[in-house]
């Protein structure tokens, strides 16, 4: 391991990711929920009041802390333009080919002049396992495995159940105000942390959007 790599490892607070659960070096366990947005401004006054009241009630029912994180990034439009480019040769009508070509050029010019942003909303739910005697540190909570300390299976399953109950309360509460949620799996969590520490990478999550009828 190079000195730079070791320094990077010390900077990252994550010890491991197991079964959709982020285990931090402090022993705290965390699950991350991707939430959809609501077109609040398009709602009527009564609908807005109802949403605010339901959200307030949701927060009041929680006996634990949550974090809500908004992440914005410039939308990478190139994959979409590449798909449109493959469709041009498949058009039988010359007019359709011209219109498609002009549309691609319009999108390319527009996105070059205006930053089109994608937004993702994350709800972070954490649970701190049973406190360990300070003199013992985390030795009772973690066991050695291949030279690295990892949380023991029995304690992990027990504490994960407590964490999942918290996540269920959060997702059910958000569902009542029309917010759809998806709990991030291991691959999505790795991607999330990658983009957290590599903010200039243009790829990233696609936001959950509210379906309109």
CA dist., res. 179 & res. 40, Å (int)? 11
Residue 205 is predicted with a pLDDT of 58
CA dist., res. 18 & res. 11, Å (int)? 20
Q: Cβ-count burial of 51 within 10 angstroms (0-12 exposed, 13-18 middle, 19+ buried)? A: middle
Tokens 């009241």, located at residue: 53
What is each CA distance from 158 to 129, 151, 155, 167, in whole angstroms?
9, 11, 5, 15
The token pair at 175 is 């569902």
List residues bridging with 70 in a β-sheet. Answer: 121
Residue 134 is predicted with a pLDDT of 35
Residue 122 is predicted with a pLDDT of 94
What is each CA distance from 40 to 33, 121, 177, in whole angstroms?
20, 15, 11
CA dist., res. 154 & res. 137, Å (int)? 18
Per-residue pLDDT in tens (0 to 9) along the chain, 213 residues: 555 555 555 666 778 888 889 988 888 899 999 999 888 889 999 999 999 999 999 999 999 999 999 888 777 788 888 888 888 878 788 888 889 889 999 998 888 888 777 788 999 999 987 654 333 444 444 444 444 445 666 778 888 899 999 999 999 999 999 999 999 999 999 888 887 777 666 555 555 544 433
> Pick from 38, 44, 31: which is nearest to 180 by CA?
38
């Amino acid at each position: 391991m190079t000195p730079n790599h070791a320094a990077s490892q010390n900077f990252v607070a994550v010890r491991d990711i197991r079964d959709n659960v982020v285990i931090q070096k402090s022993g705290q366990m965390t699950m991350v929920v991707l939430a959809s947005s609501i077109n609040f401004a398009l709602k009527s006054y009564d609908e807005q009041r109802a949403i605010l009241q339901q959200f307030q009630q949701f927060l009041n029912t929680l006996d634990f802390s949550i974090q809500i994180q908004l992440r914005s990034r410039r939308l990478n439009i190139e994959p979409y333009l590449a798909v449109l480019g493959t469709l041009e040769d498949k058009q039988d009508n010359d007019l359709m080919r011209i219109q498609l070509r002009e549309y691609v050029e319009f999108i390319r010019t527009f996105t070059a002049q205006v930053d089109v942003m994608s937004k993702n909303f994350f709800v972070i739910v954490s649970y701190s396992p049973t406190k360990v005697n300070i003199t013992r540190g985390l030795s009772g909570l973690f066991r050695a495995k291949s030279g690295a300390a990892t949380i023991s299976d029995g304690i992990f399953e027990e504490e994960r159940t407590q964490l999942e109950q918290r996540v269920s309360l959060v997702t059910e509460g958000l569902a009542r105000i029309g917010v759809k949620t998806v709990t991030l799996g291991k691959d999505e969590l790795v991607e999330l942390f990658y983009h957290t520490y590599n903010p200039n990478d243009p790829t990233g999550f696609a936001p959950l959007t509210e379906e309109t009828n």
